[in-house]
Amino acid sequence: MSRAGRALALAALPLLAAEGRAAPACPGELVLLARPAGVELARVGLDGSGGFALSFRHSVTLRTVVDRYRIEDGTIVQVEQLFDAHGPGLPDVAGPGLAFEREGDRFRVRLHRPIELLLLRVNPESENRLEAATRLDLAELGAGPLELVPVPCSERR
For the segment 7-45, what is each residue's pLDDT rounded down to a tens digit? 444 444 444 344 445 545 566 899 999 988 889 999 999
Residue 156 falls inside a structural domain: no
Residue 157 falls inside a structural domain: no
Residue 112 falls inside a structural domain: yes
pLDDT band at 133 (very low <50, low <70, confident <90, very high): very high
List CB contacts of 68: < 8 A, sequence separation 6 or more: 12, 15, 51, 52, 53, 78, 79, 80, 81, 82
Residue 43 falls inside a structural domain: yes
What pLDDT score does 5 carry? Answer: 46
The pTM score is 0.78
Domain count along the chain: 1
**Residue 151 reports pLDDT greater than 80:** yes
Closest CA to 11 of 110, 108, 138, 129: 108
Domain range holding 51? 3-151
DSSP state letters, 2-49: -HHHHHHHHHHTTHHHHTTPPPPSS--EEEEEETTTTEEEEEEE--TT
Residue 36 falls inside a structural domain: yes
Closest CA to 89 of 114, 63, 50, 112: 63
